[in-house]
Amino acid sequence: MHGEYKVPGGKLVVVDLEERDGRLADVQVAGDFFLEPEEALADIRAALEGLPAEADAAAIAAAVRGGLRPEAAMIGFSPEAVAIAVRRALGRSMTWRDFEWQIIEAPPQTPAMHLALDEVLAREVAAGRRAPTLRFWEWERPAIIIGNFQSLRNEVDLEAAAAMGVETVRRVTGGGAMLVEPGSAVTYSLYAPGELVRDMNFADSYAFLDDWVLKALISLGIDAFYKPLNDISSSKGKIGGAAQKRFSRGTVLHHVTMAYDMDAEKMVKVLRIGREKLSDKGTTSAQKRVDPLKSQTGLPRAEIIRRMRETFVQMHGGVAGAITPEEYAAAEELAASKFATEAWLRHIP
């Protein structure tokens, strides 16, 4: 039985094993990782040998960690990475290719509709009525999107935003506020089965779910890397940020907004926290805090999205999909009853 796991930004872990009488046997661990001293590899194998085949990832990782000699150093991998490779060898941990992905590119929507579609599509995946999906967004109007747990008055200058025609909405995920305008951002959502990240903690799942994006950006000449907990960054500055929500039936909503182009002066005027962070540096330093994809690549926004889509398909598969009339109708109802309401926007004043 054979399992592999590539640590995002790290090394490959390969596990070969047998299952006998419900326990792991003849376990071999290999890969391009670094491990000191080399005798620690025998510690890992010994810790895995005889473990119950039904052990979960946390139990396997704990056994590996507990079996290592005190001076051991795992470089480019971790006990959790070994656990995922073991679970994959046993057929108990899913990979991207175990699912048939749909990729949606739809017409522009209002901010409230985008947020409603996120919830509707995630619940449809959870109910089994929709395949796991990657959706690229198109913004119909300028908007500020604040995190679920942020204070509205602390984050947004509502008078300035209204004067500039910028709508403010609140999403279901945590994280910080962002300003977007049509054509200025690359936003996408993943609606992924919980099984895909079942053996990972929240922090690890962020990097795992966006590894394909880093590869797409790197292929465009951007020195892109993941900065924990949830930032996609580069040597020239932050590019974007991710946020997640786990739904009760196991589906993971993971969405990301990356700056393609930006109006730094407008951002400082409408976002209070951004203004405070930049108050001692001047407006121009906003361009250093968030570095747009346009300035790094010189490519049209559509070309960057095309490369992202191609990279996803090459790595994980996927076919073109569409939002159904029933999903649109459900999202319109949810937008009207929740995301476009003052009660939702101001639930943390």
> What is the pLDDT at residue 277?
53
Output the CA angle 311-108-119, nearest 5 degrees: 75
* pTM for the full predicted model: 0.84
List the one residue out of 121, 125, 247 whose CA is nearest residue 188: 121
For 99, the 3-state DSSP assignment is coil
CB atoms near residue 110 (< 10 Å): 18
Structural element, H or E, at residue 176: none
Q: Name the amino acid, one letter, at 344.
A: W
> What is the pLDDT at residue 3?
95
Cβ 243 vs Cβ 261: under 8 Å: no
> What is the pLDDT at residue 59?
93
DSSP annotation string for 112-158: HHHHHHHHHHHHHHHHTSS--EEEE--BSS-EEEE-TTS-HHHHB-H
Q: What is the dihedral of CA 33, 37, 38, 43, to 10 degrees?
A: -100
Distance of alpha carbon 254 from alpha carbon 82, whole angstroms: 24
> Dihedrals φ, ψ of 10, to 5°?
-130, -140
Cβ 243 vs Cβ 175: under 8 Å: yes
> What is the pLDDT at residue 283?
39
Cβ 254 vs Cβ 190: under 8 Å: yes
> What is the pLDDT at residue 278?
52
Distance of alpha carbon 216 from alpha carbon 88, whole angstroms: 26
Average pLDDT per block of 10 residues along the chain, 349 residues long: 90 97 97 97 98 94 96 95 94 88 96 98 93 96 97 96 97 95 97 91 90 96 91 91 88 96 90 61 49 92 98 95 97 98 97
List the one residue out of 347, 328, 346, 344 whose CA is nearest residue 110: 328
